[in-house]
Chains A and B, each alone.
Chain A
Amino acid sequence: MHPVQKHLFDTNFKDLAGSKLEGTIAISEELINMGIMDFLNGLKPGPEFDAPEKPSPAPAAAPDMPDPKKLLALLNIEMLTFRTGKDKVMLNVKASLQD
């Protein structure tokens, strides 16, 4: 993992505290469908699935990815609405990271 990414995870994104996002994000149907395919492909077992079983690593050696629940807890979502436009989905969003 890149040291900068590791730092953000290790410090629970404290260094980005107070960051804000506000406005409308438009996403084309093509992009959404691309995202769906990426997601589905991500669910398929990778090549390691058939690899001979390694001795199971201790839980402490698990990849130190942040817990999605903890990440969501950092997020203040004041508004998140969804509407469909012409060939696009429009998200109105007002959100921030806890300061």
Chain B
Amino acid sequence: MYLALMPILPQPLATILENPEAHIGGTDVTLDLNLGRAFLNKVLAARPADTPVEELLLDPEAGNLVNLHLQVQAPVIGNVRRRITLQPGPAVSFPDQPWLQFNITAGFKLLDKPIIKLMQSQIADKLPKGVELTSDHLRLHVPALLTSAGYQKLVPLIKELQLTSEANRLVIRLWVVA
């Protein structure tokens, strides 16, 4: 399913991926990418239409907390809305810390098992392996996700990948050494 999303790479990028050391060896660069709320929600709105997730909105706050507004059509309980608060965890670095983790600090109650089950089945069906959701965390296995997207050669180059939340924007810090 997700294989269809694999990008057709421009030639220079494909060349880098074949042998990063030969083509960008000596690179040591840090990117701090700020992603504003409107941009994030445009990205989320571009998700496939055939999911039971009817609303998905991100609202980053100061103090490293992100609110996720979620509306799903779940079996048994029907149409439900939740506001889930996520706290981005520590930086990803290789090989010791491969998970990009978000602690769920509020939002999923004990009664929400049907919603979590539904989300888990959506994740299993529609996303590559490496996305894990429980009632208290969401975590992404960055090497697995990069590998399934065809970028496995970039994995060892990532010295640091961290996501933090500020008022109305998420900040992605990426430190690459090749």
Q: What is the minimal beta-carbon distance from B87 to any residue of chain A, in angstroms? A: 22
Q: Cβ of B36 and Cβ of A16 under 8 Å apart?
A: yes
Query: 8 Å CB contacts to A: which residues of B1-39?
Result: 10-12, 15-16, 22-39
- Chain A residue numbers with a CB within 8 Å of B29 are 21-25, 93
Contact with B12, one of A15, A22, A35, A93 (Cβ below 8 angstroms): A35
Contact status of A88 and B25, CB under 8 A, knowing A3-B42, A7-B42: yes
Q: Cβ of B34 and Cβ of A19 under 8 Å apart?
A: yes
Q: How far is the CA of A14 from the CA of B11 in the complex (A)?
A: 30
Secondary structure dominating the interface of A: mixed
Contact with A18, one of B24, B34, B39, B45 (Cβ below 8 angstroms): B34
Q: Cβ of A27 and Cβ of B34 under 8 Å apart?
A: no
Contact with A25, one of B24, B32, B38, B43 (Cβ below 8 angstroms): B24
14 A-B Cβ contacts within 8 A?
A3-B45, A3-B46, A15-B34, A15-B38, A15-B169, A16-B34, A20-B30, A22-B29, A23-B29, A26-B24, A31-B12, A31-B15, A88-B25, A93-B29
Q: Which 6 pairs show the lowest CB-CB distances between chains A and B?
A: A15-B36, A23-B29, A26-B26, A15-B39, A28-B23, A20-B32
Task: Give B residues with C-beta under 8 Å from A.
Answer: 10-12, 15-16, 22-39, 42-43, 45-46, 169, 178
19 extra A-B contacts, CB within 8 A, seeds A4-B46, A17-B36, A18-B32: A3-B42, A3-B45, A15-B37, A17-B34, A20-B31, A20-B32, A21-B29, A21-B31, A23-B27, A23-B30, A25-B29, A27-B23, A28-B23, A30-B23, A31-B12, A31-B24, A34-B11, A35-B12, A90-B26
